Amino acid sequence: MASAGSPISPSSPPADRDPAMFWPDADRHLIRYGPPFTPEIIARAEGAFLYTEDGRRLLDFTSGQMSAILGHSHPEIVATVRDQVGRLDHLFSGMLSRPVVDLARRLADTLPAPLEKVLLLTTGAESNEAAVRMAKLVTGGHEIVSFAGSWHGMTQGAAAATYSSGRKGYGPASPGNFALPTPNPYRPDWAGPGGELDWQRQLDLAFDLIDAQSVGALAACLVEPILSSGGVIEPPVGYFAALQRKCRERGMLLILDEAQTGLCRTGSWYAFERDGVVPDILTLSKTLGAGLPLAATITSAEIEEQAHERGYLFYTTHVSDPLVAAVGLTVLDVLQRDQLAERAGALGGQLRDGLLAIQDRHEVVGDVRGRGLLQGVELVLDRQTKLGADRLGAQVTRRCLELGLHMNVVQLPGLGGTFRIAPPLTCTPDEIALGCEILDQALADCVRRGDF
């Protein structure tokens, strides 16, 4: 593993490998699991940059898979991994170590009461799976409500609560899953007199329909505070308080999935803080490990006790692993010491100003939205009709890559013109400016070329 400032050349593949065989080998031996692979061979990464084998430097505006909030190869993370892997890496799942208990306590200290009970896992899908199983066991119900634009993971329960993609062709999903309309202010499907989103009427109607379909076994509502794969959609202020009331009226638990928004990215430690709600269960993942596989399911002592009394079981191979727990402790240390919530707010303001300036210069930019260092840019063919621009989104993504910027466009039908922008919290103002400059240039080049 290369530490920050490593002199290792980014352009020297191992001598026993033929560089020309990389893509043929990939085509022959890898199972394809999503959109096409980025046509670059990444050799190393440091800070906000990726380095390819042929020597190109790419500014990473997605923090890897929206995860590396401290940048790549952060020296303190590198030091923690080196130290911890040499002392204690993995244990029998029924054993405990100090990093696990310490991380659980430290996480609880960052959260409002009554969130204090922590289960440490590996991925976002796994933490959502654990939360859904807990909610079903505690409530006695099995029905789960989630946004129509949701993404919660690829395991059974999480996938059943995911509507943005991947539902067709796999047979029946878990029974009792209901989609809640996404409250999208840019594209209001239930508009008030001035054309604004009437989210309260939308929410009332949605639960009227859910009540009509429910068999009386509603267990939980699992939602993201800011939908990411759904197009970086931030529900209006007041929405989550109203949603929580709907849950309370029906004996449901509110589960908030903060895989991408948790731990300072939005300018506060947790995105739910803006809305004055406290979820019954909180799930964390991506940002908690800063790029390493670490996730958490967090709830109250009361809910944990009820689950335990009913025989709650979520016994996995890497539950409570000490190596990644030690990494999580280092992540919290850096976030707190370097005041990265405040930094994300300030850099997010710079990023948003840059994106709004781009919107002023390019008619194809229909909307800029988001919070802190999680921003969305939606491209449209016409600002009046808001006709989507999937093809242009793909073209701009390719041009950004050519110019040295890795961008992530939502690669779903109808959303292919929406960029998710999530640079590391440790990036510099100059790097934010560089990313905006490259995006501006890519848009100008693609619009000038036409054919979109």
Tokens matching residue 34: 């999503």
257, 304, 367, 378: the active-site residue = 257
Q: Which of 129, 224, 275, 304 is catalytic?
A: 224
Helix pair angle (124-139, 301-309), 10° resolution: 70
Residue 408 to residue 419: CA distance in whole angstroms: 6
The residue among 14, 2, 76, 5 whose CA lies nearest residue 44 is: 2
Q: Which of 352, 369, 399, 420 is catalytic?
A: 420
**286 classed as catalytic:** yes
Question: Which residues partner with 388 through β-bridges?
Answer: 380
Asked if 257 and 212 count as a contact pair (C-beta separation under 8 A), the reply is: no
Question: Is 67 strand, coil or helix?
Answer: coil
* Separation of alpha carbons 162 and 184, rounded Å: 17
Catalytic residue of the set 60, 126, 151, 359: 151
Give the side-chain half-sphere CA count within 13 A for 168. Answer: 2
Report the 3 state secondary structure along 384-403. CCCEECHHHHHHHHHHHHHH
- Tell me how far apart the alpha carbons of residues 237 and 95 are, in angstroms, rounded to a whole number: 43
SS3 of residue 31 by DSSP? coil
Q: Which residue has the tokens 């919070």?
A: 371
Does the annotation count 384 as an active-site position? no
d(CA 322, CA 87): 10
Active-site choice (260, 359, 375, 395): 260
Q: Is 260 a catalytic residue?
A: yes
- Which amino acid is residue 28, in one-letter code? R
Give CA–CA dist 148/379, Å, rounded: 21
Known catalytic membership, residue 151? yes
What is the token pair recorded at 351? Answer: 């990023």
Q: Which of 246, 286, 343, 399 is catalytic?
A: 286
51: helix, coil or strand?
A: strand
Give 419's DSSP letter. E
Task: Please give the positions annotated as active site.
Answer: 151, 224, 257, 260, 286, 420
